[in-house]
Amino acid sequence: MVYETDNRTIADAVDRVLEGETIDRTDAIALLAQPVEELAAAADTVRARLGDGTVDACSIVNAKAGNCAEDCGFCAQSAHFDTGIETHGFLDPEEILAAAKRAEADGAQRFGIVVAEKGVSKEQRPEEWAEVLRAVRLVRDETDVEIDASLGLLTQEEANILAEEGLNHYNHNIETSPRYFDEIVSTHDFEDRLKTLRRAKNAGMDLCAGVILGMGETPADRVDAALELRKIGVSSLPVNILNPIEGTPLGDRESAAISKTDLIKTIAVYRLLHPTARVRLTGGREVNLAEDEQHWPFEAGADGLLTGDYLTTGGQDAATDIEVIEDAGLEPNTAVNEFDPERVKRAAGSDTDAVGDAIESSADD
When pLDDT is cut at 50, 70 and 90, the band that residue 363 belongs to is very low
| 359 compared with 71, residue with greater pLDDT | 71
pLDDT per position as a tens digit, 40-71: 999 999 999 999 999 999 999 999 987 787 88
Q: Greatest CA span in the chain, whole angstroms?
A: 61
> 110: which strand partners?
58, 146
Q: If pLDDT is split at 50, 70 and 90, which confidence band does 345 have?
A: low
Which pLDDT tens digit goes with each residue over 192-243? 999 999 999 999 999 999 999 999 999 999 999 999 999 999 999 999 999 9
Helix (H, G, I), strand (E, B) or coil at 346: helix
223 φ, ψ (degrees, to nearest 5): -65, -45
What is the rounded CA–CA span in Å between residue 101 and residue 99?
5
Q: Which residues pair with 112 in a beta bridge?
A: 60, 148
pLDDT value of position 77: 75
Mean pLDDT of the chain: 88
Binding residues: 68, 72, 75, 208, 280
Q: What percent of the chain has a predicted confidence (pLDDT) above 70?
A: 89
Query: What is the Cα 87 distance to its own chain's centre?
Result: 24
Give the contacts of 315 (CB within 8 A, at least 6 positions apart).
286, 306, 307, 308, 309
139, 151, 144, 161: which is closest to 95 by C-alpha? Answer: 139
Q: For residue range 171-198, list pLDDT tens digits in order.
A: 999 999 999 999 999 999 999 999 999 9
Opening angle at CA 267, ends 264 and 269, nearest 5? 110
Binding residue ranges for [4Fe-4S] cluster: 68, 72, 75
**Cβ(6)–Cβ(345) under 8 Å?**
no
Q: What gap in Å lies between CA 316 and CA 327, rounded to an integer?
A: 16
Q: Is the pLDDT of residue 316 over 90?
A: no
Q: What is the pLDDT of residues 4-19, one digit of tens each?
A: 788 999 999 999 999 9
Span 90-136, pLDDT tens digits: 999 999 999 999 989 888 889 999 998 888 888 889 999 999 999 99
> CA 118, CA 18: separation in Å to the nearest integer?
39
Q: Choose between 302 and 311: higher pLDDT.
A: 302
Predicted local confidence at residue 365, as pLDDT: 40
The structure's pTM equals 0.89
pLDDT at 132: 96
Angle between helices 260-273 and 8-18 (to 10 degrees): 40
* DSSP classification of residue 336: P
What is the average pLDDT across 62-82?
82
For residue 311, pLDDT beyond 80: no
Give the domains, in start order, of the chain with CATH numbers: 24-330 (3.20.20.70)
User: Bigger pLDDT: 349 or 232?
Assistant: 232
DSSP of 317-328: -HHHHHHHHHHT
Q: Is the pLDDT of residue 265 over 50?
A: yes
Binding-site residues for [2Fe-2S] cluster sit at 208, 280
